[in-house]
Structure 1
Amino acid sequence: MASRVLSTCLITPPTKFTHAPPVKFSNKASWFRSKNGRIKCGAVGDSSQPVYNGVYGPWTVESSDVREVILYRSGLVTAASSFVFAASYAFLPSDSQLSEIIKQNLDLLYTLGAGGLGLSLFLIHIYVTEIKRTLQAFWALGAIGSLATCTNLAQPAGENLIQYVVDNPIAVWFVGPLFAALTGLVFKEGLCYGKLEAGILTFIIPTVLLGHLTGLMDDGVKLTLLASWMTLFVIFAGRKFTQPIKDDIGDKSVFMFNSLPDDEKKALIKKLEQQ
C-alpha cells in the first residue's frame, strides 16, 4: 500500500500511460476545465491565473479549489484543536475549574474532532481512489463504533466516551478505526510533503493506542507520548497553512482525467502519445 501512496505523491499517471513520452505544453496549449463531470478545452493564454503543466494537460487553480483546500486545512485545525483540549485533561489538576469544564465537554470535543477529521478526509486529494475510500471507510467505522460505545456502554456506566476508553482498554477496538484513518492521513502528508511532524505522528498514534489496548505501556510513557502527539498535531495542522494552495490540490489534470468516461480517456491518451 505504501508503494501505491508513493506513486500518487510522485504524480505518476495510470500504468497504461507510463510508457508515453513526456508531453510539453506551450502557453497557447489547451487546458481542461471540469464542468458537470465533463472536461472541456479552453485557451489558457489569456488566463490571469498561473498555469501548471500536469500529466494530462495544463491546469489552473480556481476559486472552488481554494475553498476546498481551506476547508480541508480547517478540518485538520478543528481536529487538532479538539484533541489538544480534550487530551489536556490528563495533565491538569483534577480539582481545577478548567479540568472540570473540559471533563463536562469531552464528548463534545471528541465529536468536533471526529467531524473535522471527516471533513478533511472527504476533501483530501489522493490520486488512487481506493486509498481515499479506505481511509473514509475507517473513519466511518470509527465514528459508528464511537457512537455505539458512547450510547451503549459509556453513558449507562455514567462516564463520557473518552473516560470509558481510558478505563476499559478493550474499547480501543471500537474507536480505533477512526484513529487509523488519522494515521493514514498524516502518513500521506508526511510521505508526499516530507513533513517530519507528520512522519513521527504516523508512529506515535498507533503506538499509544496499541500500548493502551495491550496494557504493555505504563502511564508515564503514555503521558509522554500523548504530550508529543498533542504538540506535533498542532505543528502539523498549523504548518498546513504555510503551504501553497496548489500543493494540496496536486496534479489537477489527473483528477480530471479520472472523471472522464473510458472512451474519452483512451482518446486523450492516444492524442498525448501522438504528441
Structure 2
Amino acid sequence: MAALLCCSSTKLLLPLSLNSNSLPLIISSSSISSNTHSTSFLSRVSFQPSKTSRINNNIRCQAQNSLDSTVYKGIYGPWSVDSTDVREVILYRSGLVTAAATFVIGGSTAFLPDDFFLTNVLNQNLDVFYALGAGGLGLSLFLIHIYVTEIKRTLQALWAIGVLGSIAASVRLAQPVGESLPQYVVDHSIAVWFIGPLFAALTGLVFKEGLCYGKLEAGILTFIIPSLLLGHLTGLMDDGLKLSLLGIWMVLFSIFAARKFTQPIKDDIGDKSVFIFNSLPEKEKKDLLEKLGQADLTQDID
C-alpha cells in the first residue's frame, strides 16, 4: 500500500468516501495545478446541497477555461488539464528522452569498431553526452509527480549527490589521466561509487513508472541498472555479460522513453487535487476534510 502512494495515477488514495453521484465539491480549474501553492484553496471550494444534475452543470461551467474540457474525478474534487500541466508533462518526457538518447549514443561506443570514424568522434564527446543525460534526468526528477514528497525529495537528493560525485571524479580522477568520465568508470570500477547515486535516482524513476503504469520495460530496467553497476563494481561479471546487459539497457531505455509519448497527458499529472491539498497548511487541511465529510453526509441523506 505504501508503494502505491507514489503513483501519480493510482486510484487507491481514498481517505474519504466520494462517488460520482454524490460529489459535493466544485473547484475552479485555474486553482488546481500540481506546482501551485494556493493559500486560499478553501475559498475556492463551494458546497452545493442540490441535486446531482445541478452539480454536474456547475462542474462543466468551471471547466470551460481549461485546455482539456474533460473533467476528472479527484479525491478532493474534480479537475481538468490546463496549459501548465501540458507544458510540465512535455518537459518531463523530454528530459527522459534526452537521458535515453544520450545514454544510447554514448553506450554505442562499446559496440562500434575501434577504427570506425564515428567511434573517435563519440569518444571525444562522452563527457558532453553524460552531462546532457544527467541534466535531462534532473529535469524529469524536478517535474515528476509523486504524491509522497519524501520519496520525490530522496530521488532528487540522490541525483544531486550523483552529479557532485561525477564532477569530483571527472576533475580529480578522469581529467588528470586524459580520459572522459564514462571511460574512466569503465577502466576503474571503483569510480562507480561516485556516479552510483545518479543511477540510483534513475532506477527509482523507472521503478515508479513500472509500478504505476505496469510497463514491462520499466520493470526490467529496475533490475538491469543496479545489476550492471554492481556487477562492474564487484568484478563478478565478465565483459561479455556486461556488454549484454548494457545492450539490453540501451534498447529498453529507448522503448521506455518513446512510449512515454503514447500516454495521455493526464497520466503523468495524477490527481491534482491531492497535490494542492498536500500544499495546504495543516489547519486548512483539517477544515477542508471536515467540510468534505459534512457535504458527503448531506448528499447521502438527500
TM-score range, shorter chain: over 0.9
Distance in 1 of aligned mates of 2:6 and 2:169: 36
**2:171 aligned partner, one-letter code:** T
Bigger Cα Rg: 2
Distance in 1 of aligned mates of 2:113 and 2:21: 62
Q: 1:44 aligned to 54, 59, 63, which one?
A: 59
Counting only pairs closer than 5 Å after superposition, residues 12-161 of structure 1 correspond to structure 2 as: 12-13=12-13, 18=15, 20-24=16-20, 29-32=25-28, 33-34=31-32, 37-38=38-39, 39=41, 40-41=44-45, 44-46=59-61, 47-48=63-64, 49-161=69-181
Which TM-score applies when normalising by structure 2? 0.85
Distance in 2 of aligned mates of 1:8 and 1:143: 24
**1:199 aligned partner, one-letter code:** G
Return structure 1 stretches of 4+ with deviation > 6 angstroms.
Answer: 25-28
**2:155 aligned partner, one-letter code:** L
Distance in 2 of aligned mates of 1:180 and 1:4: 20
Distance in 2 of aligned mates of 1:184 and 1:85: 22
Counting only pairs closer than 5 Å after superposition, residues 202-241 of structure 1 correspond to structure 2 as: 202-241=222-261
* Alpha-carbon offset, residue 21 of structure 1: 2.2
Q: Secondary structure at the match of 2:85?
A: helix
Distance in 1 of aligned mates of 2:104 and 2:218: 16
Q: Secondary structure at the match of 1:45?
A: helix
**1:129 aligned partner, one-letter code:** T
- Structure 2 residue 5 is the aligned partner of structure 1 residue 7: yes
Unaligned ranges ≥5, structure 2: 47-57, 297-302
Distance in 2 of aligned mates of 1:95 and 1:192: 44
**2:38 aligned partner, one-letter code:** G
Which TM-score applies when normalising by structure 1? 0.93
CA contact (8 A) 1:107 1:160 kept: yes
| Equivalences, count | 269
Change in 2 beyond 3 A, CA 1:159/1:25: farther
Q: Secondary structure at the match of 1:66?
A: helix
Q: Secondary structure at the match of 2:147?
A: coil
Change in 2 beyond 3 A, CA 1:184/1:61: same
Paired-residue identity, %: 65
Q: Which residue in the other structure is 1:174 paired with? A: 194
Q: Deviations over 1:185-241 (max 9, x none)?
A: 000000000000000000000000000000000000000010000000000000000
Change in 2 beyond 3 A, CA 1:206/1:174: same
CA contact (8 A) 1:27 1:45 kept: no
